[in-house]
Structure 1
Amino acid sequence: MVIISVICFLCPGMFNSLNATGGAGQIARDVPSNANTGLYCAFVVFGLLGGSIVNLCGIRWTIFVSGLTYSLYSASFIYLNHTSSGTFTIVAGPILGIGAGVLWAAQGMAMMSYPVESHKGQYISIFWAIFNLGGVIGGIVPFVANYYQGDGSQVAPLSDAGYIAFVVLEAAGATCALLLAPPERVIRNDGSYVAMLRHTSVRSEAKEVLKMARNRWLLLLTPMCVASNFFYSYQWNAFNGSLFTVRTRGLNSMLYWASQMIAAYAISLLHDCRSVNRRRRSILSLATIVVLANVMWGCTLVYQVRYTHSPLATGESTDYPHGLIDFTQSQRAAGPMVLFCFMGIVDALWQSFAYWIIGTITNDSQMLARYAGYYKGMQSLGAAIAWQLDARSVPLIAQLAANWVLLDVAVPLMLYVAMHVKDSSNEATCPPTGKHCAKDYSQIEML
């Protein structure tokens, strides 16, 4: 789990950090936004197929190849800096979407199926802490690279050195995948095997993917999945990219992901609290998240009504009172910087709950690979829509409203699922016998 976390720390963690600076470090946001739209469109398809690809091809090489697509995406911005042609970047976006769909399906399968039921919250928090450490460290790159540009108010793209640093770190993350063992060789703390070594094929995986369209729990959680990445384009571009100087965006990115590390650990304590039954834990967790999320969007609205555009959208200075905010302007910076950290907290709580609630449906590793792929696919559908809204310069207040409405539409359905959570999933885990269990499966190779 730590190895998988390090991979995500160096690959999607760096990608998140790059995008959190606003416009992926570019002056104009049209090319990055269009690339991200293509990325998430491909992610929708390969998120849904990713679990089956992992089941068919194994976890090691699928993650390795997928990780390299992150380096390709970051490298495309070096080409953009020198040629002003966005073709390479826009093509690299969908390629990354393919790789990301497979990588996240593998990651979700491991994070939800490897731990015993009483430790699932802890494993999610471990992953989220290491993963977001990538965002923290990645935020240092644009902060340091742009620190000496006067007060940072000059609008300039991230330097080649900054992008090269991202490329190298992401390639290192992909290489770490070669250290992974196959899931069927992984043993839990209680001695039980994680995976049941079962026959699978392209035909059987296709049938299982189609079955997800009739899975009641996944359908109920679909709005939650769609909402889970919808807000990134607004928070990274319309807020961080619109209000702050370039170097302050990098600092904000560091604080955003650091806040997520703390929040993920805090919510894991509730998710794994054995003195409270799992149904009650799920309801308490959801209630906490809903209250904090609505407070967060309410506070954001207070700032949003004060400006309408940003240099990322128009190339002109923002119309926020007194211009862009630099972190050295403590009186102006404190409020919006704290709010941006609060956004990170809500993000971590939402994502942690999403993985945890999906992990309560089953303990079967192959099923969870498909469920994780479904989650990331629907998540990417929302992200694709959101990035296209941003690329088309939809009014910022309308983007905020869309985020807020989508959040509250998902809540009643999430509550219904939370109220039906059982203390233990129906599928039996493999007993600590040294062999893979055969319950309810017809084609099994015994070790």
Structure 2
Amino acid sequence: MGDCCVGNVYLLGVGFMLIFTAFTTCGNIEQTVIRSLANTSFSGSGYDSLAIIYGVFSASNLIAPCVVAVVGPKLSMVLSGVVYSGYVISFSKPMTWSLYIASILIGFAAAVLWTAQGTFLIMNSDPTTINRNTGTFWALLQCGMLFGNLYVYLDWRDMTVISDNNRWTLFIVLSVISLAGTAILLTLKNTRNGDTTHEIIEPLLPPRTLFKEKVSSTLNQITTEFRSMLRLIHTKNMLLLSVTIGYSGLMLTFYSGVYGTCIGATREFGIVAKGLIGLSGIFTGIGEILGGAIFGLLCFNNQFRRTSAVLLGVISHLLGFYMIFLTVPDDAPIASTNNSHYKPYLTPSPAIVLVSSFLLGLGDSCFNTQLYSIIGILYPEESGPAFGSFKFIQSISAAVAFGYSNYLVLSLQLLILTIFCFFGTISFFIVEKIEDNALDLQDF
């Protein structure tokens, strides 16, 4: 792997950083923004929007590998980035119908985007660089949690109500940032035939025959990719990893949508609550970046085992869950803004919020970087179907979590996360042990 591949990994990370600066910030404040709308005709829900996104995302992962195989990873990511920008800009003037249509479109685009990203990352990696490239990409991606949330903190920290002008300015800026990230993806260079389709057809054939050959070749690709994905989902390793992947989806819902809403609904924070949402997102991003940077370096050439990274993630998450349980009102996920009626066990503190946010980000980075790494090792020749399966499972669990977030109090949501954290860790350790045994047999 040469300089071209290294450059591609950095460009990929920066492009995704900008796109998800916009989308992650949007998701973090979405429900809070909707609750502040003066337009009484608007009847949408941020939780429902995100549930639709991840529901469509999960279903679309069944065909996303086929789309990526036909269109190519680079073009797939560029087109998906345009859809992401459209979703963000729809919040500049929220309407119920546009919110839900945009949610459906971005759900499909997300499946294509992440399948293409996983495929492209594997194309630019080998067994000796996969950990480094995964950590590098993840650290760059999560830098996106800093900038948008910093803007939210600085602009909203003294607000009790978000005005139409404040909302419009924020989402226009975010949409421009998202488009800039999409433009960067256009500069990616093709490697290992990463952005080509099967066009090895006799150039002197008649146009009608040439068209039939291309259609037949495309259909064969779609069929092959779809069958590969269905087969991978039923393999022993993927079935075990599905528990860990499912937990990562539940966690994605909690830190990207639910926790920020809880902070905004905690009346003890008073006028600083809105700004604290942004500051919380920044500290979550710092945890994500730190985890990606550390494991990108320490896991390089097996200097740090994947199981050790996951164990650190477990400790971080369980400690974060406990602190949140003690200091956030139990009805905060479902209460109106600053209108929680439950008293937390301990007095809510901005310092505890920020520490908890950091732990959530660090733990999430531990799980996701190691999932990317082990899937890249297990399925190097079937990266498209493998990452399609990964995102299919993850998005189903995220959709379910956003669905129940409208109704379950905080303690029940934290209990669900804790249970999945335990069993997901055990499943990951089993797969890692199977992989170690397989390598030992090869060496023998």
TM over 0.5: yes
| 1:144 partner SS | helix
1:435 alignment partner in structure 2:
none
What secondary structure is seen at the aligned counterpart in 1 of 2:61?
helix
1:359 is aligned to 2:387: no
Shift of 1:183: 3.5
Of 143, 160, 175, the residue aligned with 1:167 is 175
Cα distance, 1:17 vs structure 2: 2.1
1:380 match: 395
Change (3 A) 1:258 1:424: farther
Tell me what 2:159 maps to.
Answer: 152
Match of 1:180 among 180, 188, 196: 188
CA distance in 1, matches of 2:313, 2:230: 31
Select the residue among 289, 306, 320 that pairs with 1:282.
306
Q: What is the TM-score of this pair, normalised by structure 1?
A: 0.81
Which structure's residues are more often helix, by fraction? 2
Are residues 1:299 and 2:316 paired?
A: no
Task: Give the match for residue 101 of structure 1.
Answer: 111
Q: Which residue of 2 aligns with 1:335?
A: 352
TM-score by length of structure 2 reads 0.81
1:232–1:313 CA distance, 2 compared to 1 (3 A): farther
* Residue 257 (structure 1) aligns with: 285
User: 2 CA distance for matches of 1:14 and 1:182?
Assistant: 26
CA–CA distance in 1 between the matches of 2:124 and 2:409? 44
1:283 and 1:419 in contact (8 A); partners too: no
**Compared CA separation, residues 203 and 332, structure 1 to 2 (3 A):** closer
Q: Which residue of 2 aligns with 1:134?
A: 144
Deviation at 1:101, TM superposition (A): 0.5
- Taking the aligned partners of 2:88 and 2:30, their CA distance within structure 1 comes to 14
> Paired residue for 2:53?
39
State the Cα deviation string for residues 237-292 of structure 1 (Å, max 9, x = none): 4433222411121122122112211111112334224457xxxx233333333333
C-alpha contact 1:32 1:90 (8 A) present in aligned 2: no
Contact 1:22 1:249 in 2 (8 A): no
- CA shift, 1:380, in A, is 0.5
Distance in 2 between the 1:197 and 1:282 partners?
40
Residue 202 of structure 1 and its aligned partner are, at CA, apart by 1.9
Do the aligned partners of residues 20 and 243 (structure 1) sit closer, same or farther apart at CA in structure 2, a change above 3 Å counting? same
Partner of 1:221: 241
Does the 8 A contact of 1:21 with 1:253 survive in 2? no
Instruction: Name the CA shift for 1:270/1:311 in 2 (closer, same or farther; >3 Å).
Output: closer
After superposition, where does 1:367-446 map in structure 2 within 5 Å?
A: 367-391=382-406, 393-422=407-436
- Report sequence identity in percent: 18
The number of aligned residues is: 396
Provide the C-alpha distance between the structure 2 equivalents of 1:203 and 1:273, rounded to a whole number of angstroms.
37
Report the RMSD for the aligned CA atoms in angstroms: 2.9
CA–CA distance in 1 between the matches of 2:199 and 2:246? 32
Q: For the residues of structure 2 that align with 1:231 and 1:275, how far apart are their CA atoms?
A: 27
In the aligned structure 1, how far is the partner of 2:184 from the partner of 2:259?
34
Is the contact between residue 229 and residue 386 of structure 2 (CA under 8 Å) also seen in structure 1?
no
Give CA deviations for 1:27-51 in whole Å, capped at 9, x if unaligned.
2696211111111011102223222
Instruction: Measure, in 1, the Cα distance between the counterparts of 2:22 and 2:388.
Output: 21
Q: Equivalents in 1 of 2:85, 2:438: separation in Å?
A: 40
Task: Identify the residue that residue 439 of structure 1 maps to in structure 2.
Answer: none
Counterpart in the other structure of 2:90: 76
| 1:332 to 1:293, Cα distance in 2 relative to 1, 3 A | closer
State the alpha-carbon separation in 2 of the partners of residues 362 and 98 from structure 1: 24
Q: Please, which runs of 5 or more residues in structure 2 have no aligned partner?
A: 1-8, 37-42, 201-216, 265-272
